Amino acid sequence: MRIKGYGLPQMEVYTFDKLSDYLGKSKQAQYLFRYLGEINAKTFFVESNYVDKDFLIDYAKFYARSFQAPPRFTERIHFFSSDLTTESFRIAVEEYNDNLIKSIRKSYLGFTVVKPIGNWYGDPLIGRTILKTYPEEVEADFRYFLTHTYAASLYGIPLNVSSLPYQTQDMAVAACATTALWIALHPLSVLFAIPTYSPVEITEKAVTYPGEQRNFPSSGLSILQMINFINFLGLDTENINILPGKEEMMLEAVKAYIKAQIPIIACLELEAGSECDRCYHAVIVSGYRYDSSGSVKELYIHDDQIGPYSRVKLGDNPAEWENEWITHYGFKKMVVERLLVPVYPKIGLTFGRIHAVYLREKDKIISKGLNAELFLSQVNAYKQHLLKHSFKGKVETLTKSLPRFLWVIRGHYHGQPILDNVYDGTAIFPQKLLTIIYQYPE
C-alpha cells in the first residue's frame, strides 16, 4: 500500500498548512491539526526513514509475514512554534550555530510518527506521538497532566518534551484496549522500572487468556485480558466501579492517581452511535483542569480514536462525558463505567478503603472553610514537598523512615496546604502515620 505523502524530500522545513500532505485526512489527523494549532505549531520538519521501535516490532511479528508487506521505515514529523525555515535549519546543522540550535530546541513542540500503513481510506496511521501539553495555567484555573520528559534527537540536535505518548489503533495488532495499555506502559515503565512493549506484544500477552474472537487481526480485549496483561507486568489492578450517586468519586480517583503519575484506564460505554448501539471503549485519562479550590472542571484523555489530550466536558453527572464522540462522531451518550488502575503490588491500601476515610475527613475539613483532597504519593516526592515547607517537627519527620507509598488527605486553602493526614500506602487497612500542620509567617 502506498501512503499519501510517504517518502517526500528530506531536510526541509514546511509551514503548518502543508501538514495534511503528510498526515492525511483521518479523524485522528484532523484532531492533530486542531490540537497543534492550539499549542501554536507554525512549522514542521519531516525526518524520513525513521526506525520506530514499536512499529518495527509490530512489523516483525505481523506485517513481515504478509505477502504485500509495507515498508518497515516510518516518517517522523517534528513540530515547532517558531517560523523556522529550511535555510536556518541547514545553517544550524552545518555550522553548528548555537543561537539557531537554542531557538530550535526552545520552540520544539514534539513529534508524531507516521506509519507506512493506512486505514480503510488510505490515510496513514498515526504512530508514536509525543506532543507538548496545553499550558498549565488557563484563565484563573490550572491544569495538571500525567507527563514525563521524553528525548528525541534530530540529526544530533537534542530535543525534549514533557508529555504522555499517544498512538492511534492499528486494528491488525491492537484495538482500543491494547492501545490504552501501550499508553499506560510509558509512565508505568518510568515509575516501576518495567519494560515497555509494542502493541502486538501487548495483545499477544493479553490473549494468553483466551477471548471469544481471533487474536489477530485484533478485535479488542476483555477486562480479563487487560488485567491478565497487567498481571504479566508484575503489577496489580485496582478496579474502581463508578457507583450511581457517587460519581464524584471518579474525579477524586483521577486526581489521587494522576498526582502520583499513575495512568488510569477509563472504561466507557458508548450508546447509540453509527458503529454500534452499545459498545465499550477504553481510554487513558491524561490530565485535568481544576480551580483554586481543587474542583475538577475538565478532563483530558488520550483516546486512540481521537488523539492526545482530547478535552472532556463534564456534565452535572461527572461520569457522563462529552467530547468528540458526541460532538463529531455522532454518539448520543458516553458514560464511565469503571476505572482500571495498574498499581505496584506493594500499594496494599486500596482506593476504596482510604476513600471511606477521606469522605469522613473531608466533611470535617470542609466544615472549617477549607478544601480537601486525597492523593497517593511516593515517599521521595512527598518528602521533597515537605522540605519546602515549615511545620512543627520538620527534622524529625524528614529523618523518619516511611513506607515507599503514602496516601495523603490534605486540608488546603485555595491550594495552600494547611494540614496533611498521612496514611501508610503499603498497609492493608488505613493506618495513620503522621499529621502535618503547616506553619506560615504571621
Partner 1 sequence: MGRANIGKMAKSKELKKEEIEKLAEELDEIAKDPKMLEEAEELHKKISYLSPEDLLKRFTI
CB of 279 to partner 1, least distance (A): 5
CB of 183 to partner 1, least distance (A): 14
CB of 391 to partner 1, least distance (A): 11
CB of 396 to partner 1, least distance (A): 16
CB of 442 to partner 1, least distance (A): 6
Left (φ > 0), alpha (ψ -120 to 50) or beta: where does 170 sit? beta
Contact 237, 227 (CB under 8 A): yes
Contact 127, 90 (CB under 8 A): no
The nearer residue to partner 1, 156 or 441, going by C-beta atoms, is 441
- In the beta sheet, which residues pair with residue 211? none
CB of 184 to partner 1, least distance (A): 13
Q: How far is CA 220 from CA 32, 37, 59, 217, in A?
A: 24, 32, 19, 9
The nearer residue to partner 1, 2 or 368, going by C-beta atoms, is 368
The nearer residue to partner 1, 19 or 221, going by C-beta atoms, is 221
The nearer residue to partner 1, 59 or 382, going by C-beta atoms, is 382
The nearer residue to partner 1, 40 or 237, going by C-beta atoms, is 237
Residue 43 to residue 107: CA distance in whole angstroms = 10
Contact 167, 126 (CB under 8 A): yes
Buried b (16+ CB within 10 A) or exposed e, 410-420: bbbbeeebbbb
CB of 31 to partner 1, least distance (A): 16
CB of 288 to partner 1, least distance (A): 20
CB of 74 to partner 1, least distance (A): 25
CB of 439 to partner 1, least distance (A): 8
The C-alpha cell that represents 364 in the structure block: 470535617
Which residues are near partner 1 by CB under 8 A? 175-177, 180, 211-213, 219-224, 226-227, 238-241, 243, 249, 267, 270, 275-276, 279-282, 305, 338, 350-357, 360-361, 364-365, 368-370, 409, 411, 413-414, 416, 418-419, 421, 429-430, 432, 435, 437, 440-442
Residue 63 to residue 122: CA distance in whole angstroms = 16
Which residue from 279, 180, 195, 289 is spatially nearest to 237, judged by alpha carbons? 180
The nearer residue to partner 1, 96 or 429, going by C-beta atoms, is 429
Coil, strand or helix: which one is 397?
helix
Residue 113 to residue 128: CA distance in whole angstroms = 5
The nearer residue to partner 1, 111 or 229, going by C-beta atoms, is 229
- The helix (run of H) or strand (run of E) holding residue 31 is helix 27-38
Strand-by-strand arrangement of the 108-118 sheet: 13-15, 43-50, 74-80, 108-118, 124-131
Contact 309, 302 (CB under 8 A): yes
The nearer residue to partner 1, 10 or 219, going by C-beta atoms, is 219
The nearer residue to partner 1, 101 or 422, going by C-beta atoms, is 422
Q: Is 211 exposed, middle or buried (0-12, 13-18, 19+ CB in 10 A)?
A: middle
Which residue from 73, 70, 69, 284 is spatially nearest to 181, judged by alpha carbons? 284
Residue 244 to residue 238: CA distance in whole angstroms = 19
The nearer residue to partner 1, 87 or 442, going by C-beta atoms, is 442
